[in-house]
Structure 1
Amino acid sequence: MDDRLRSAARRIIRDSALVGKDETVLIIHGMHNRDFAGLLAEETMRIGAFPLVWSFDDSLISDFPERPPKGLEAIIKRADVVVWLSQYTAVDNLPEKVRRRVFSFWDAVYSLLQEEKVPTLLVNLPSPMWLEENGIDPDEYLCEFASAVSVDYAQMRQLGIKLMGWLSGAKEVLITDGNGTRLRFSIEGREPGLEDGTLRDCRLERRECEVEIPAGEVYIAPVESSAFGRLVLPHDGLELEFRAGRVVSVSGKRASELRDRLKTPGGNVIAEFGIGLNPGVRPLSLRIFDEKALGTVHVAVGHNLHLGGANESEIHIDFILLEPTVLVDGKMLMERGVIKEQE
């Protein structure tokens, strides 16, 4: 596993972050992923760049500022690239007052990165405790993570550009599957975006300057009032009914939990249609990971301003379909999880 993680660190620094000689790389991490942060720092130095490693141990925090101090702001602003690993390890064990201040602090760091347009990789390496609580073996996740970042990024981008061509200028999408899903919505007037797993576009100063790792998806914001039909998600224990763009009913074993979340203002509105591109991702029942898998699509509800949509909400929830069939303006884009050749 050590060799695989070292290789993954190399791919992240060289192929995803595109770090160059003499650049300054700020690496943020929690205590649960400090070993991997060390590997990232080593790879940074091998290139001839300069790593700054920022360790955060939330188990030692008794009080915390709501914003980073000026000296820390200056370091953030001067970074050429930020590689931000999941930083929380035991934050849920903090007193509520302290936890709110910690969240406010990191929200301020994130906002500062956005304001300064610092190219940022958000690396999804949750704590072992969090993974186990969600039914995922931490060692298995590390293995799958290494596979998911060790892919051909150029090939993934090429596929993404092809799919964007399908969606650009199209009017309607229909999703079906063998579980009973049948959902139709409009994408007329909306433009697709591509997350190809690299900071290439960030460095060209495009609108967004962050990329999630593992990565790989094409996304578009459906017209918010246009979704009709249902999503059937047996792996999530859920079935959602859409009408005029909103979720109007939820059933299944985990329905009560989702109903509460959808009460958030704007939370029940269709927000996103995404297509996974990453051939190295094997679904693990972890949405932030599974939605990148080649052969899947996802539909989200909630906030979508960042995707070119018009709905504002405090939540964004993705629902993954594992072997869908997708028609765009009546033409087959994907059949049972297999992307078709464009005619």
Structure 2
Amino acid sequence: MRELHKIVANIMSNNVNVSKSNTILVLTDHSTSLLANKFRDALITNEWSVSFYEMEDRMKSGEEPPKEASDEMLKHDIVFCLTKHSLTHTVARKNANLHGISVITMPGITEDMFLHGAINADYQRVEKETLEMTEKLSQAEKLMIKTGKNLLEIPLLGRKGVPSTGVFKEKAASGNLPSGEAYIAPVEGEAEGKIEINGSIAGIGLLEKPIVLTIQEGRLVEATGEVGRELLTLLGDGDGRLLCELGIGTNHAARVTGNILEDEKAYNTIHVAFGSNHTFGGTIKSNVHIDCVTVRPELEWVSSEV
């Protein structure tokens, strides 16, 4: 417990910009409430002003929290979301930011992740490398991803990369913690090809064997195996199957363990996601956002620079 308190104290001094006059909300769900209570207690021990709200589990990442929870977010200066599924790509998170509130999302967070791995990285290094990769994404016309015999072409022209550094010094900041990724909303309706997913999938976990996703005109049309069928079910039949994100891990301390929060931040990984991207520069609005991680892909960058 003492070690957890120390790590939470480090987060408050190194990763966020808050004062003792600021109010903090710890937003959680039934699955994560035990750890969220420990997180709250650590904040209180360090004399922060903390409120606590527990909601029912969401069914999938990207699903909106209840209205009462969304309203509670607006009453504080900073919100830590310790939940089973991600609230990052939700209207509730975006609305809180528009009201000047910082929202730090920690979907799938575990005590092991607090004590080891990505959360204990050198975040000055993570910030620098994330900003560099974000600029590379912003300058790219497209990215070609080769996984074995599979090739996926993702057009990016005109879209801006987004840094998730794990460092939240500005008012109304948002992102994951732990973090370390650069991501972007690809041009909708244009991605073509196949990609092997060999790491993990949000809501499913670590993969025992790879699956292959087929994307046509920016839409997931086929996914192999039992896990592929499970993924398609999670995404539904509508806009949830549209390719919405390309991300690249930039955290040197992150591990691939089956927990998407840390997996997608690891070196030598990329992830593609399906569902909502209207919160970070895209046009897709759906009640789902599912990330799929691939380890050690081959990348070919096509730059838009003349």
TM interval, shorter chain, is: 0.7 to 0.9
Shift of 1:145: 3.3
Structure 2 unaligned segments of length 5 or more: list them: 58-65, 200-206
Cα distance change, pair 161–108 in 1 and its aligned pair in 2 (3 A) = closer
Partner-residue secondary structure (3-state), 1:329? strand
Q: Larger RCO: Structure 1 or Structure 2 (Cα < 8 Å, ≥ 6 residues apart)?
A: 2
The residue number in structure 2 matching 1:258 is 231
- Percent identity between the aligned chains? 24
Counterpart of 1:56, as a letter, is E
2:8 corresponds to 1:41: no
Q: Max radius of gyration: which structure? A: 1
- TM-score, scaled relative to structure 1: 0.72
Structure 1 unaligned segments of length 5 or more: list them: 60-65, 89-102, 127-140, 332-343
**Alpha-carbon separation, structure 2, partners of 1:145 and 1:196:** 17
Cα distance change, pair 274–228 in 1 and its aligned pair in 2 (3 A) = same
2:9 corresponds to 1:7: no
> Which consecutive segments of 4 or more residues in structure 1 shift more than 6 A?
none
Counterpart of 2:100, as a letter, is K
Structure whose residues are more often helix by fraction:
1
Structure whose residues are more often strand by fraction:
2
Number of matched pairs: 279
2:185 corresponds to 1:221: yes
Cα distance change, pair 123–257 in 1 and its aligned pair in 2 (3 A) = closer
Partner-residue secondary structure (3-state), 1:197? coil
The residue number in structure 2 matching 1:17 is 16
Matches within 5 A, 1:313-328: 313-328=286-301
2:244 corresponds to 1:271: yes
The residue number in structure 1 matching 2:80 is 83
Counterpart of 1:301, as a letter, is F
The residue number in structure 2 matching 1:211 is 175
Picking from 81, 99, 108, the partner of 1:116 is 99
**Alpha-carbon separation, structure 2, partners of 1:302 and 1:241:** 15
**Alpha-carbon separation, structure 2, partners of 1:212 and 1:111:** 14
Partner-residue secondary structure (3-state), 2:34? helix
**Alpha-carbon separation, structure 2, partners of 1:58 and 1:222:** 32
Asked whether the equivalents of residues 264 and 313 of structure 1 are also in contact (C-alpha less than 8 Å), the reply is: no
Asked whether the equivalents of residues 27 and 53 of structure 2 are also in contact (C-alpha less than 8 Å), the reply is: yes
Matches within 5 A, 1:142-157: 142-147=111-116, 148-157=118-127
Asked whether the equivalents of residues 40 and 52 of structure 2 are also in contact (C-alpha less than 8 Å), the reply is: no
Partner-residue secondary structure (3-state), 2:241? coil
Shift of 1:269: 1.4
Matches within 5 A, 1:1-343: 2-29=1-28, 31-33=33-35, 34-43=37-46, 45=47, 50-54=48-52, 56=54, 67-68=67-68, 77-86=74-83, 113-124=96-107, 141-147=110-116, 148-177=118-147, 179-201=148-170, 203=171, 205=172, 209-235=173-199, 236=207, 237-329=210-302
Cα distance change, pair 41–289 in 1 and its aligned pair in 2 (3 A) = same
Cα distance change, pair 174–210 in 1 and its aligned pair in 2 (3 A) = same
**Alpha-carbon separation, structure 2, partners of 1:303 and 1:57:** 22
Shift of 1:108: 9.4
- TM-score, scaled relative to structure 2: 0.80
Shift of 1:315: 1.5
The residue number in structure 2 matching 1:137 is none
Partner-residue secondary structure (3-state), 1:261? helix
Cα distance change, pair 252–52 in 1 and its aligned pair in 2 (3 A) = same
Shift of 1:285: 1.3
Shift of 1:109: 6.9
Asked whether the equivalents of residues 56 and 87 of structure 1 are also in contact (C-alpha less than 8 Å), the reply is: no
Q: Deviations over 1:140-187 (max 9, x none)?
A: x4223333212222211111111122222321101113x434211110
Shift of 1:55: 5.2
Counterpart of 2:3, as a letter, is R
**Alpha-carbon separation, structure 2, partners of 1:255 and 1:271:** 18
**Alpha-carbon separation, structure 2, partners of 1:167 and 1:233:** 21
